[in-house]
Each structure stands twice: as C-alpha cells, then as structure tokens.
C-alpha cells in the first residue's frame, strides 16, 4: 500500500510510504528493506516509519519495537534465497537507471547462499559519522567468515589509525 510521504524530499520517507523498495518486514514503528547497494549478501536496513533523524530521538513506542525489528529482519535474511533476491533485484524497474555494481559483486561472492556467521548492526548517527540521508536507518549487515582479511576490531576499524589493539605502545603519561 502506498501513502503520501511525510517528507517528500526524504528518500527514506518515500521508502516508508511504499514508493520504492519492497518491504521485507513491518511492525508498528519500523519497516525493513534489503539495501540495493549491498556490501554483503543480505545487507538490510531498518527504517522508522516516522521521519526520525537520530536513534536518540526514537519515542518509547519506537524503542520498544526496535529489537522486534532487528530480530524480524534477521529471520528474513536467514530464510531468503540470496541468489534469487539479487537476480530479481537487477530487474527492478526503479533501479533501471541506477548503478548495479554492488548487486553484481555480491552475486559472485563465494559465500553467497551460506548462512551468516555473524552480524554487524548499527547506524551512522549523524553526518560526521558518515550518514548521507538524514532519516534514521539501522544497518543489519550479515557477516561471513573470510569476508574481510582480518575482521578483528569490527566497527573500531571505521577509525583505522586507532583501531588496532596491538599497535605500538602508547606514550607514557605522567611517570
Ligand atoms: Zn524521512
């Protein structure tokens, strides 16, 4: 069902209104979609129906629906045929004129079709954290053994120079 977007200029308000990506999950406060620029098979997004910018602005109802959405989307990821998903995604009408390199790349990954070994879950909460659309979208990213050479540190690696646990010893402070 499509509705009028809350903010017609906001991409995720358009998604929430049912105007673009098909929903893979819905509850009272959130909906889930598969990202059309996947970095790994099953890369999904959880988006509040309301135009909420930050995770820290979710109201109590939304907060109580948040984990239900994360669990629900994971369930869909683990029961979806990823080969089918991405082959069909290549043929979506609204993506016709958009780059599809990410979809083509995940279709060639050796672990496509395997059950995820782990998850990275989170959001870029603000422009300085790398967000490009100011409507909250929580990333549920399935992880597979071997998807990066050395996964140690995970999210720490978004600040690569300071991510390593075993770098040179920090300079002594005081004495
Ligand atoms: Zn919005």
Q: What is the DSSP string of 14-52?
A: HHHTTSSSPPSEE-SSEEEEE-SS-SSTT-EEEEESS--
Beta bridge partners of 33: 45
Ligand 1 centroid to residue 99 C-alpha, Å: 23
Could you give the CA distance from residue 54 to residue 77 in angstroms, rounded to a whole number? 24
Could you give the CA distance from residue 139 to residue 124 in angstroms, rounded to a whole number? 9
pLDDT < 50 regions, the chain = 175
Ligand 1 centroid to residue 121 C-alpha, Å: 21
Ligand 1 centroid to residue 132 C-alpha, Å: 12
Ligand 1 centroid to residue 51 C-alpha, Å: 4
Could you give the CA distance from residue 66 to residue 142 in angstroms, rounded to a whole number? 18
Between CA 24 and CA 34, with CA 29 as vertex, the angle to 5 degrees is 25
Nearest Cα residue to 53 out of 137, 140, 141, 129: 137
55 neighbors 138 (Cβ within 8 angstroms): yes
- At 173 the pLDDT is 58
- At 162 the pLDDT is 83
Ligand 1 centroid to residue 148 C-alpha, Å: 32
Ligand 1 centroid to residue 62 C-alpha, Å: 15
Domains of the chain (ranges plus CATH)?
Answer: 11-150 (3.30.428.10)
- At 49 the pLDDT is 97
């Amino acid at each position: 069902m499509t509705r009028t977007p809350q903010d017609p200029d906001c991409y995720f308000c358009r998604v929430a209104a049912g105007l673009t990506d098909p929903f893979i999950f819905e509850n009272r406060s959130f909906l889930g979609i598969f990202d059309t620029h996947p970095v790994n098979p099953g890369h999904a997004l959880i988006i509040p129906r309301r135009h909420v910018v930050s995770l820290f602005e979710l109201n109590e109802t939304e907060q109580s629906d948040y984990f239900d959405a994360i669990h629900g989307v994971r369930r869909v990821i683990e029961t979806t045929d990823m080969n089918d998903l991405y082959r069909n995604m290549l043929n979506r009408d609204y993506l016709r004129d958009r780059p599809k390199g990410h979809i083509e790349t995940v279709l060639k990954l050796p672990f496509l079709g395997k059950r995820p070994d782990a998850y990275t879950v989170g959001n870029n909460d603000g422009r300085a954290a790398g967000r490009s659309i100011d409507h909250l979208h929580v990333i549920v990213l399935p992880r597979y053994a071997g998807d990066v050479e050395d996964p140690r540190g995970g999210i720490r690696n978004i600040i690569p120079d300071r991510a390593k646990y075993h770098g040179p010893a920090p300079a002594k402070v005081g004495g």
